[in-house]
Amino acid sequence: MGDRTRRTRHARGLFAGISSNYDTPAKLFGLFQYRRWHRELVSRLAPHTPSLVLDMCTGTGAVAEELLRQTDSRIVAADLTRSMLKAASERPGLRSPRVSFIETDAQSPGLADGSFDAVVFTYLLRYVEDVPTVLSQLGRLLRPGGVMASLEFAIPNGAWHPLWLLHTRVVLPLGLRAVSRGWGEVGGFLGPSISEFYRRWPPDRLEEAWREAGFGDVSTSRLSLGGAAITTGTRL
């Protein structure tokens, strides 16, 4: 089985296991930064007043809900995992004619070139094998001048690093195991997955990949003592 298929199947299985009970554990074990990061992420797009936004990896729809709040855009909420998308479609805060839902894979989204004014994606790149191709695929969906913004976990430096290790290697695995079997699997996977991704794609290299995928004005800002990073760029 190819790496792409293996990673995709893993992501689908992982998220299908937590789709019925996603938001509360995500908030709690994200140390209550989860919604704050979404607000920050959407605030990078809102000033561009996009008419149509793609929320790739919408999951249960929290970012789409924030887009509804901060913009007047129409929103296409997309995800690989059917049960996550179903939870998004039933989210009370997303009952709006401005929102539609599609089941798709970011690695081959099958949407028309240049059809969006903005693309946002969250926690995606650790679940794909070929990062440059995914950045190109998402960039292709944007009109020239359109903006893309992503949110991903990052690794704090200095004195915060041992505390981050304690949180991701001890607190998360033990705490999430107490929530459910599916969340237990996430708890064991998350910390090593963040570290592995950071090793393969340190921030400078990732920004370079955005540029090579056809983006300008690429920049990254760190949030919450370095525990998360938002990268933005403009389609050239």
Ligand X SMILES: C[S@@+](CC[C@H](N)C(=O)[O-])C[C@H]1O[C@@H](n2cnc3c(N)ncnc32)[C@H](O)[C@@H]1O
Handedness of CA 85, 90, 93, 98 (dihedral sign): positive
Binding of ligand X at residue 137 (CB under 6 A)? no
Q: Which of 40, 65, 66, 79 binds ligand X (CB under 6 A)?
A: 79
Rounded to whole angstroms, the Cα distance separating 148 from 165 reads 30
Number of residues that bind ligand X (CB under 6 A): 22
The CA distances from residue 29 to 10, 171, 186, in Å, are 21, 9, 11
- The verdict on 191 binding ligand X (CB under 6 A) reads no
Closest distance to ligand X from the beta carbon of 158 (Å)? 27
Whichever of 26 and 218 has its CB closer to ligand X, that residue is 26
Q: How many CB atoms lie within 10 A of CB 19?
A: 19
77 touching ligand X, by CB under 6 A:
no
Q: Residue 84 or 230: which CB sits closer to ligand X?
A: 84
Q: Which stretch binds ligand X (CB under 6 A): 100-108, 176-184, 191-199, 210-218?
A: 100-108
122 counts as binding ligand X under rule CB under 6 A: yes
| Residue 8: how many other CB atoms lie within 10 Å | 18
Q: Which is nearer to ligand X, 111 or 147 (CB)?
A: 111
Specify the residue, 92 or 236, whose C-beta has the smaller distance to ligand X: 92
Binding-site member from 17, 59, 184, 187 for ligand X (CB under 6 A): 59
- Fill in the DSSP letter of residue 167: I
Provide the minimum distance between the beta carbon of 32 and ligand X in the complex, in angstroms, as a whole number. Answer: 14
Q: How buried is 198 (Cβ within 10 angstroms: 0-12 exposed, 13-18 middle, 19+ buried)?
A: middle
CB of 159 to ligand X, least distance (A): 27
Contacts of residue 162, defined as CB under 8 A and 6 or more positions apart, other chains included, come to none
Return the residue of 73, 107, 193, 231 that touches ligand X, per CB under 6 A: 107
Going from the C-alpha of 24 to that of each of 34, 40, 63, 83, 109, the distances in angstroms are 10, 20, 15, 17, 29
Buried b (16+ CB within 10 A) or exposed e, 151-161: bbbbbbeeeee
User: For binding to ligand X (CB under 6 A), which residues are involved?
Assistant: 8, 11, 15, 26, 56-59, 62-63, 79-81, 84, 105-107, 122-124, 127-128
